[in-house]
Structures are given as structure tokens and as C-alpha cells.
Structure 1
């Protein structure tokens, strides 16, 4: 993805952190912010992927600073913010890191339809740890850093349209509902310090993950096509749609405690055959 570089990008708008920034949506957000003048640090667990993302951005005239971190680890997040402290005051934190594992709570399986399969606990814990606990840990450190520096800042949390419930997504929907709740709570708590907190809630993203799953599973591809036709705009979101929403949230001084829906008009909770 090639982001156009803002001619004023050298002016510098302050330090921004994007978690999950080595690929996909996080990288799209980071590139867009860098192109509009932010000094952007991208954080993720895979150092090689981070460096590759930074190199590719540099080839397009964009500067991204890689920082390896595991947002589910309190010690790792603390280390990340110690590293950030050397770069100047944090003005923007984008909590993007996340992953989804689709499982029904329980389902009937097997040729005779007598086998019961339950949602694995480890899948639940991985999604909640990354998508909710990780947001809490990073958000807490970001708010503390902004308060310590005495400068106003913005925390943008990536939620999801499915936070209101979606078939086969108990963990992800619960985590993203929690992200909305954290956003509204923090907005109330931090407003007096000049810190704004906003959530951006994407619908289905037309990105590499969707394409790879659809290519590997024709049944999934067919289901997603039926689902797409139920969206009012009958299109999936582009990663740049979300990136521009994040930038808007960062720039608008009256936004806090809001959830910006970027979903083509909304998704049904399930599409039947």
C-alpha cells in the first residue's frame, strides 16, 4: 500500500504509537499518520516484520520507527513506554493490536450430528488477552505518559461493528464491546486532563486476512459474499477508510467518548443460507 506523503509532513505533529503496526490495518494507520506529519512508532511482537514494514515505508518516503513489544505482557508494555520516553512526549496512542478466532459457543458436529464441540478456552483467553487486556495495559501506560508530560493527548481504540454480537465470535465480540466500554470510561476519567479517548469501529475489512481465508475456503468465500450483499453500501471497508477515521479522531478537539462507525452502514449478526 502506497500512502501519499503530505508536503507538510516535515512539520512534525508529535509522537504517535500504533500497536499491531507491522502489517494490515495497523500498518495502514501508521503509514497514513506518518504521511500527515506524525512521528510514528509501530509496535508488534515480530521484530523482523516491523523492520520490513519500516523499510517498505521508507521506500515510499515515510518514516516509521519499529519497537518490538507484546501488548499482553505488562513488563513488555512497560519496556515499550520506557523506550518511547526517549523520543519525546506521546501525543497519540492507537490501540490496534488484535486477532480473532471464530468459534461457536457449542455446536453439533460429526456425521451423525451427535458430537458436541465447545468453544476452546485457550482461544477465548488469547482473544481477550490481546484485544481487551492489551488495550487496557497500553491505554494505562499511554495515559500515564501523557499526564507525566503535562501535555494533552489522544487515545484511539480500535473496536469493531461486531461488538454488539456476531455469529461465531463470542470472544471477539465481547472483547470489542469491552473496548467500547473502556473508551467511554476513560473519556470521563481523563477529560479534565485534556486527554481525549475515541473508538473507531470497523466493519469487515477488505484486507489480506479476508482474501487469504476466502481463497483457502470456498464455503467461507461464498458466505462472505452473501454477507457483503446485506451491507447497505454493499462493500467492505478499505484499510484507508479506517486510517482516515483514526486521523479524524486525533484531530477533532470535540471528540471524546465517541465510537466512530466505519462499516458501510452496518452488518447483520448472521446471514442464513
Structure 2
């Protein structure tokens, strides 16, 4: 797929990894539909995309609300006339051990709300947005690509029962959708990032951050721009479908 003038929707597009992907794609001529819950960060991201040389529109949407998702994707097609790509990037974390015990007594357990909220956003939100993007692509005759942002935590990361389960589900959707949607000219791929330099890692204690870096064979965190470059590679390669690309500095959980 040629990025020039293609229309790419990005959930969680107002900040962090989503914004990095948006800016890189904008610099290559793609038009961006940025989806997020915070209007202020969305507007800042849209301005950055315009400075990068392309058009961008913003859509405030909670990806766990079916009606909002349907309305948002209908609005994207109305505004741009087509939809060529979706990057399912929106996600949250609510880390914690399933159970934490001391001297044979359980002191803390993962709250059901923390489990459910992560599954809602990180998995159900991906399903809802993927389903609606596919619907719009088919009905407008726009061949396209869906990219699910997974994580190396999909293999199971201590303290992330909820996040690991959600990302494993997101990864499983990739080959399913690739097989189901190929007949309509729609590809599906996934990216599983390792530890990235983000606002979250920047707030970590220096000793914890150094320990994290030491566990990575390349001895550094990944850059959001490196994930963005991977997304662009997937979008432009028309024979890639049904696979997960791991971008993790050789770290394997």
C-alpha cells in the first residue's frame, strides 16, 4: 500500500507511541484519523502531524463503547471518503501480582476491576475497532491493513496477569483476521514491542530502569520511532499478513 494520501486511523493517537506513529506516517504523506479520549493531547498530535506535512483529524472516543466506536469510524469515512488502515494501539496497564502473600498469609490480590478494565480496553477495544474498520473498508471498497499492537508480555510477564492475557488475545486475533479478511483485500499484522522509552519508563526509579536495560541484550530501551518505522514497513509491504513482528532488542520473556 502506498502511504501517500492513504487514510490511517490510530487509536491512542494523542500521545506516546500512537503519536510517534502518526507523525512518521504523516511525514510520508498519509492522512491521519487520530482517536483518543483526551481532546487536548489529540489536538497537539494533530498539529504535529500537520507540521510533518499531512492532514490529520481528531476523534474523541472511548474504544470500549460500541456505539462510540461505530460513530467514530463512520465519521472518519465521511470526513476522508475512505479508510485504508487501522493501528490498534490504545491500551492501559494496571500491574500487580495475582496474589501477594507473606508468611503464609495473602495480603493483597489483583482486584477484579483492574483485571476487567485492562481486558476491556486492551482486548475488547481492539475487537470493536478492528470490526468497525473492517466493516468500513469492505463497504467503501477500500483495501486496507489492520495492525494490532501487542507486546512481548503476551508470552507471560510477572505482575501482569491482566495485561499479558489481553496481549495474548490481541496476538491471537492477528492470524484469525488475516484469514477471514483476505478475501476482501484486507491484511492484518501485529507488532510486539519490548520495553520502550516512554513516559512510563521515564518515571521509573533510576536503579530499576538500569536493571531493566541490563536485561535487554542490546542494553537499551526501544524508541517509539522504531515501532513507528515497523508499522510503516508493514503498511507498505502488501505480502505481509497474519504474523507478529517482535521489536524488543532480542529480549524474550
Corresponding residue pairs, total: 251
Q: Distance in 2 between matches of 1:89 and 1:62?
A: 16
**Match among 8, 13, 27 for residue 5 of structure 2:** 13
Q: By how many angstroms is 1:114 displaced?
A: 3.7
Is residue 31–residue 54 contact of structure 2 (8 Å, CA) maintained in 1?
no
Q: Distance in 2 between matches of 1:57 and 1:36?
A: 10
Q: Distance in 1 between matches of 2:55 and 2:183?
A: 33
Q: Which residue of 1 aligns with 2:100?
A: 107
Provide structure 1 residue ranges, at least 5 long, that are not aligned to the other structure: 1-8, 269-273
TM-score (structure 2 length as normaliser): 0.94
The RMSD of aligned alpha carbons is: 1.7
Q: By how many angstroms is 1:61 displaced?
A: 4.3
Q: Distance in 2 between matches of 1:69 and 1:76?
A: 6
TM-score (structure 1 length as normaliser): 0.87
Q: Are 2:163 and 1:168 equivalent residues in the alignment?
A: no
Q: By how many angstroms is 1:258 displaced?
A: 0.7
Q: By how many angstroms is 1:88 displaced?
A: 1.2
**Match among 146, 149, 156 for residue 158 of structure 1:** 149
Q: By how many angstroms is 1:115 displaced?
A: 4.6
Provide structure 2 residue ranges, at least 5 long, that are not aligned to the other structure: none
Q: Distance in 2 between matches of 1:244 and 1:261?
A: 13
**Match among 108, 118, 135 for residue 109 of structure 2:** 118
Q: By how many angstroms is 1:207 displaced?
A: 1.4
Q: Any runs of at least 4 consecutive aligned residues in structure 1 with deviations exceeding 6 A, and if so which? A: none
Q: Which residue of 1 aligns with 2:223?
A: 238
Q: Distance in 2 between matches of 1:54 and 1:168?
A: 35
Greater mean alpha carbon deviation, residues 135-144 or residues 62-71 = 62-71
Q: Which residue of 2 aligns with 1:28?
A: 20
Q: Are 2:116 and 1:131 equivalent residues in the alignment?
A: no
* SS of structure 1 residue aligned to 2:84: strand
